[in-house]
Structure 1
Amino acid sequence: MKTYLKNPLSLGIALLSLAWSCAPKESQTSSPVIAKGYDRHVELQWPKQADVDSYEVWVSTGNNKFAKRGTVADTIYMDFVNDLGKNLNLQYKIVAIDGTGGSSDLGLAQASTRDFTDEELVNMVEYYTFRYFYQGAEPTSGMAPERIHIDGDYPEDDQHIVTTGGTGFGIFGLLAGIERGWITKEEGAAHFQKMVDFLEKADRFHGVWPHWLDGQTGRVKAFSPNDNGGDLVESAFLMQGLLAVREYYKNGNDQEKAIAAKIDQLWKEMEWDWYTQGGKDVLFWHWSPDKEWVMNFALEGYNECLITYILAGASPTHTISPDVYHKGWARSGGINTDVEAYGYQLKLKHNGSEAMGGPLFWAHYSYLGLNPKGLKDKYADYWEENRNHTLINRAWCVENKDGHKGYGEDLWGLTASYSVKGYSAHRPGDDLGVISPTAALSSMPYTPEESLKVLKNLYYNYGEKVFGRYGFYDAMSPEANYYPKRYLAIDQGPIVAMIENHRTGLGWRLFMGAPEIQAGLDKLGFERK
């Protein structure tokens, strides 16, 4: 289980000017309170006031009669209004409460809700999830916090810990945010400038970053006692995103070209060949400056790590031979199987889960930039593998032989997330009754209609239990009444990245546009459209 990271409850309030293009436009007044109406909720924000302990939120549906909705210490409130009806015209007021119990009206704001189209709902979820990586970013580094707990419970010493892999996933969301106007081109460039400047100076081990970094200092934070050095897989996830940024900016203005050039240098400094332990026919996950190869974790397929071999094969400076891929990852053909579940076939041995596939993040992490459509080699058709993997996972939940409450066609998706028993890699056969929203939502390219049903069910029927300022929370279990208000970067990132890939193919287009990637795929024997 990973450690917690603290995130101030007022995070992001300084960003009230952010363009919320997925919401109905509201008429603004001089009030410091800003209200935005969506389909079934209204989001309110206001500036933090000195010497104020809490804020009361009041709403009126007409005739100037206000009813209290809640009391918060925060300066953001998500008001789910199912109890008030649909297509509403609402007026809100915020009352500030000081330490003596005295009160003062902070201001009024109006908002309207209306029925959203499917496209607007998807846009809303993508936008909210994007905010994790922009509003929620660690301020010094611009990197993604390992986790954000809205419900508290953080050790103070982990306040600034950021994740390399989760940042790489979120990069695709930041690019989508620029393209969709949620932030300006200038804001996006400034954010990426901060990020690459930090990564240039941060701890690296033969060009490879660790799993966790201190976002203020750039120093490694050990993931475990022996995992205090280079993490090749997490760094591959990071570089997958960074290469997309390089492609996005390489023909831009002077600042953008400088960002692209710095990423190119970081890419060329990654010593993929070092991580073969001196020339073995396989890549290894970890290297430590004082423990060296003690973890000795060989990357053998199939799991989430395919992108690591693609990048290693594509490296212009520290590449690997095709034998490392075919003998190591593919185990000289031992990666193949021929199993079927619920009428769907898998061609790859999913490590530890051969019969019905591993947790669904295996169909996501390597494919945020690497386009699985038409991607084939002698071992698999990766679009078919990922789609069938998803459909098997869904079918297990729909069958629901263990009788978990809520499971069905509109509530499915098992993957690694929080759970009632701590962090767990949920999958068919190891099912704790916990649904992870990222599983179905990040599968939207593979199962668009089936994933949309889950999105609608979560938003309309579970509402504030599962949806907050950064989108859907990490996990939920109706039977255990388990609805933690917590986020993980590695689960939020694939949601925004894969929704955008479903809508426009942005991440796929940028990453696959890198000439080294095309050459690396050829070198390892891949076909693609």
Structure 2
Amino acid sequence: MTAIKTTPNLSDNALLDEVQRQTFRYFWDFAHPVSGLIRERTDFVATRPDLVTIGGSGMGVMAIIVAAERGFISRDEAAERVLKMVRFLLTAPTYHGVFPHWMNGATGATIPFSRKDDGGDLVETSYLMMGLLTARQYFSRPNPAESEIRSTIDILWGEAEWDWYAKGGHAVLFWHWSPNQGFVLDHEIRGWNECLITYVLAASAPRYPADPRTYHRGWAEARVFENRRSYEGIEVPLGPDYGGPLFFAHYSFMGIDPRGLTDQYADYWRQNVAHSQVNRAYCIRNPQGYAGYGPNCWGLTASETDDGYRAMSPTSDLGVIAPTAAIGSYPYVPDESLAAMRYFYEERGRDLWTEYGFVSSFSDARKWVSPTHIAIDQGPIVCMIENGRSGLLWELFMSCPEVRQGLGLLGFSTKAA
């Protein structure tokens, strides 16, 4: 990690450009040289240089699209890189069409995420497919490279057996399956959390869709699904107390457009705005008295700490701020997010700003700054800023006819419906 100088007195638009451009370098310069897929984190490269992340690679595809539209790279360069990625994915092992959490970026071999997690990861595959479908819609020109991107993505998308992960017809989807372990991890995907995209894609799948009842009887029938209580004076429709870590409002919504999105359970724009506001208000109130917290220094989510990776929230607050949390909420609370971005960049840049954008996290209370960047921290920074600025990724993903059909099957209404 190399600290770099910041540029003083940038306008708001120039600052947004700078943060997107620099953070994008994680997905471009630091990508695996053989496959183009995205490495998990910078501090792994010395000991595990070939380890790539499937979910982070989906976010990387979306970041590449943003970079092409913003002129950081050319469209042809973007197409060349995405084509490299999807060609590699087409040769890699899958588990009923579902990719593992981690993969060897040179060979495609599965790298176990844990001792029994050595097969398909449905949620990570959801983030990958979200990125690939967005790319399929973006690369719409009839030239050979873009045509091959579209046809290859259609193969990958069509081969994923979402119904297999209902474990023989259960009314819920399961996170993991492997030929060695089967469904032994028995991890049901229930809400409210970061996995809405999994159920939307499962209903949208062209060949192996999951029954829509898995959404209503599995996802929505969970102990921490409906909330409707108030925190910091703000009602939170869904989720655990205080809404949970902020990545709940980011990961699925890099593609799913929450503007005007409703179903029988929630208004999803209202959900994400409230979640962001509560998280910030909690940090301002700062009931544990942590150093550094304030109106411009807020954001609790899953990130690195000085004691490993943790999912932090107002109910699990370790005094660690993650720049991705506030910045990823840019579409929902643009003024407050931009103020935090400016603080991280202008006042804390000496500690936080590097060749790949902001580091994962920091803690003034612990006098600690993360030495690493993590793919799923960097992805929401590039992509959610863009959704707040232009709606680009939302418009692309929601233009997929299968996605619109799947949302309808689950009972969603959208602004364009």
Normalized against structure 2, the TM-score is what?
A: 0.97
Aligned residue number for residue 344 of structure 1: 234
Query: As a proportion of its length, which structure holds more helix?
Result: 2
- 2: CA distance between counterparts of 1:438 and 1:528? 27
For residue 235 of structure 1, report the CA deviation from its aligned partner.
Answer: 0.2
2:165 pairs with 1:275: yes
- 2: CA distance between counterparts of 1:172 and 1:214? 21
Higher mean C-alpha deviation, range 160-169 or range 331-340:
331-340
- 2: CA distance between counterparts of 1:310 and 1:285? 15
2:206 pairs with 1:316: yes
**Contact 2:263–2:411 (Cα < 8 Å) also in 1:** yes
2:125 pairs with 1:235: yes
- 2: CA distance between counterparts of 1:379 and 1:478? 39
Structure with bigger gyration radius: 1
- 1: CA distance between counterparts of 2:222 and 2:4? 53
2:49 pairs with 1:159: yes
Secondary structure, aligned partner of 1:418: strand
Aligned residue number for residue 140 of structure 1: 34
**Contact 2:3–2:351 (Cα < 8 Å) also in 1:** no
- 2: CA distance between counterparts of 1:420 and 1:405? 16
CA deviations 1:141-170 (Å, max 9, x no partner) are 101100013xxx7662x1110000011112
Letter in 2 for 1:159: P
Structure 1: where are the runs of 5+ without partners? 1-8, 10-75, 81-112
Aligned residue number for residue 174 of structure 1: 64
Question: What is the aligned counterpart of 2:308 among 405, 422, 425?
Answer: 422
Identity %: 46
CA deviations 1:256-283 (Å, max 9, x no partner) are 0111110011100000000000111110
**Contact 2:35–2:88 (Cα < 8 Å) also in 1:** yes
**Contact 1:170–1:497 (Cα < 8 Å) also in 2:** no
Letter in 1 for 2:293: Y
- 1: CA distance between counterparts of 2:262 and 2:389? 23
Matches within 5 A, 1:141-220: 141-149=35-43, 156=47, 158-220=48-110
Secondary structure, aligned partner of 2:368: coil
Normalized against structure 1, the TM-score is what?
A: 0.77
Aligned residues: 415
Letter in 2 for 1:243: L
Aligned residue number for residue 401 of structure 1: 287
Question: What is the aligned counterpart of 2:13 among 119, 137, 147?
Answer: 119
Letter in 1 for 2:241: A
For residue 324 of structure 1, report the CA deviation from its aligned partner.
Answer: 1.1
- 1: CA distance between counterparts of 2:223 and 2:50? 43
Question: What is the aligned counterpart of 1:130 among 8, 16, 24?
Answer: 24
Aligned residue number for residue 250 of structure 2: 364
Letter in 1 for 2:70: R
For residue 114 of structure 1, report the CA deviation from its aligned partner.
Answer: 5.7
For residue 78 of structure 1, report the CA deviation from its aligned partner.
Answer: 2.0
Aligned residue number for residue 345 of structure 2: 459
**Contact 1:146–1:161 (Cα < 8 Å) also in 2:** yes
Aligned residue number for residue 493 of structure 1: 379
- 1: CA distance between counterparts of 2:3 and 2:383? 26
Higher-RCO chain (CA-CA 8 Å, sequence separation at least 6): 2
Query: As a proportion of its length, which structure holds more strand?
Result: 1
Structure 2: where are the runs of 5+ without partners? none
- 1: CA distance between counterparts of 2:224 and 2:83? 43
> CA 1:198/1:412 → structure 2, altered by over 3 Å: closer, same or farther?
same
Letter in 2 for 1:528: T
* Aligned-CA RMSD value: 1.5
Aligned residue number for residue 290 of structure 1: 180
Secondary structure, aligned partner of 1:172: helix
2:414 pairs with 1:528: yes
For residue 186 of structure 1, report the CA deviation from its aligned partner.
Answer: 1.5
For residue 332 of structure 1, report the CA deviation from its aligned partner.
Answer: 8.2
